[in-house]
Structure 1
Amino acid sequence: MTDKKKIQLIYLGVGAICAMILGVSFWLTTLRGKLRENNVPIVEDAGKEEAGDLWELEKDLDLVKQDGAAVKISDLKNKVWVAAQYYTSCPMCAARNANSLLGVYNEHKSEEDFQVVCFSVDPDEDTQEKLQEMTKSLSVDPSNWWFVKAEREPLLQYMRYEMKFGDIRERKDPIEAAAKGKWSHDLGILVFRGNTLVKKWHERLPPESLSDVVRTALSEIKKDEVAESDE
């Protein structure tokens, strides 16, 4: 191969790499634009541990908790509440609840302003009896750990577009469904201060970071309460 051909090949290779970089950049820009059009927040620095306001809930939702009592999202307006998705037959939910949620709950359950709320992604199958069994299996107080359900479509729409949980899909592969459960859903945990989403915690992060966010949010809500009482 002559030197001229070698140089030509080098230029062709560089050109191909540049074209690839430009293509990826264009795709990312287009994707970002679609996310903004669909009103989905783009969370920067998702691995950071400090809380920072991300999203405001604008709508309310009627729910039923494990003891059959009717509740609403607006009932949590003065709480720091930790939200997670679940369904009673999900093995991955059970592991997350035991490894992460339960630890945070046990640390903060004595706080009057603290609440855990688990939202069913399979409300047709998650009966009140099953919700009560989950409560007993975790040895938690139903007054500050709610397992809630509602009509399926309004509930799924609210979780996806108002709370900004990820998509829910049914697993079609029977082997995968047997190992991971029927529904694929967001295993992340959201921390709210009233109507404000202050953190989305991903299951790959250490549980200590979730507890730190809750502690910070509780401190902030106490400051708000003191300020209101002084007015």
Structure 2
Amino acid sequence: MNKKFMTVGLTAVILMSACSGGFEGNMERDLKAFDFINHNGEQLSSEDLQGTPVVANFIFTNCDTVCPPMTYNMTGLQKAIEGEGVENYRMVSFSVDPEKDTPEVLQEFMGRYDLNEDNWDFLTGYEFDEISSLALDSFQGLVVDDPSSDQMTHPTSIYLISPEGTVVKSYDGYESVPEDEIIADLKALGDS
């Protein structure tokens, strides 16, 4: 292959990625339509999220392992996002135990953390099978009820949903949250 042609091709690829804000996803799944209720008992649908990049995760309030640190990590991420002056974003935490996690229980759980609920919704108001299906189909994550305890198995990732409603990226949400990368990706998607 001609060296000059390879150089021109490589330059074009670099320029195209720079023009796209440098965003590079690691997944591409359509967010299934949903219509749930949030911690205030208000309806929130997938359509309500259209037009804004969304940071999402899965938790449940009775979790005695990963959910408290994951929620703490999300609050840190929210502070970092707002510290960078990013205003065009939403956050959503889907409960994987909707039977126990009523809006009142979710409000009590949220009260344990220093978070801004103006753009962060904790969701419930659906059947377990619905959230299990949503997690698998839209986020490639398993949500499984442990019949021998009151605990659930669920994804520990943080996900990014594009303004068009596509789940485009997953990040570690438990041990090493890449805040700078998530913020850069939010900015890239928010400007698109």
- Matching residue's letter, 1:182: Q
What's the CA shift for 1:90? 0.6
Q: Identity over aligned residues, as a percent?
A: 21
**1: distance between equivalents of 2:126 and 2:186?**
31
The structure-2 alpha-carbon separation of the partners of 1:205 and 1:132, relative to structure 1 and needing over 3 Å to count, comes to closer
What's the CA shift for 1:185? 1.6
**2: distance between equivalents of 1:219 and 1:107?**
13
Aligned pair partner of 2:77 in 99, 104, 120: 104
Query: Which residue number corresponds to residue 190 of structure 1?
Result: 159
Q: Following superposition of structure 1 onto structure 2, how do residues 1-231 of structure 1 map, counting pairs within 5 Å?
A: 51-52=24-25, 54-57=27-30, 59-91=32-64, 92-98=66-72, 100-109=73-82, 111-152=86-127, 153-170=129-146, 172=148, 177=149, 182-194=151-163, 195-203=165-173, 206-207=176-177, 209=178, 211-224=179-192
**2: distance between equivalents of 1:136 and 1:94?**
12
What's the CA shift for 1:69? 0.7
The structure-2 alpha-carbon separation of the partners of 1:222 and 1:86, relative to structure 1 and needing over 3 Å to count, comes to closer
The structure-2 alpha-carbon separation of the partners of 1:129 and 1:222, relative to structure 1 and needing over 3 Å to count, comes to closer
Moved more, 64-73 or 53-62: 53-62
**1: distance between equivalents of 2:147 and 2:156?**
15
Contact 2:54 / 2:162 at 8 angstroms: preserved in 1?
A: yes
TM-score, normalising length from structure 1? 0.64
1:43-95 residue CA offsets vs partner (Å, 9 max, x unmatched): xxxxxxx7325213153100100011101122112222111111111122012
**2: distance between equivalents of 1:52 and 1:103?**
22
The structure-2 alpha-carbon separation of the partners of 1:59 and 1:185, relative to structure 1 and needing over 3 Å to count, comes to closer
Query: Which residue number corresponds to residue 229 of structure 1?
Result: none
Where does structure 2 lack aligned partners over 5 or more consecutive residues? 1-22
Contact 1:53 / 1:197 at 8 angstroms: preserved in 2?
A: no
What's the CA shift for 1:204? 6.1
The SS at the match of 1:138 is coil
Higher-RCO chain (CA-CA 8 Å, sequence separation at least 6): 2
1:199-231 residue CA offsets vs partner (Å, 9 max, x unmatched): 211346622x2x23322222223432xxxxxxx
The runs of at least 4 aligned residues of structure 1 exceeding 6 Å deviation read: none
The structure whose Rg is larger is: 1
Contact 2:29 / 2:166 at 8 angstroms: preserved in 1?
A: yes
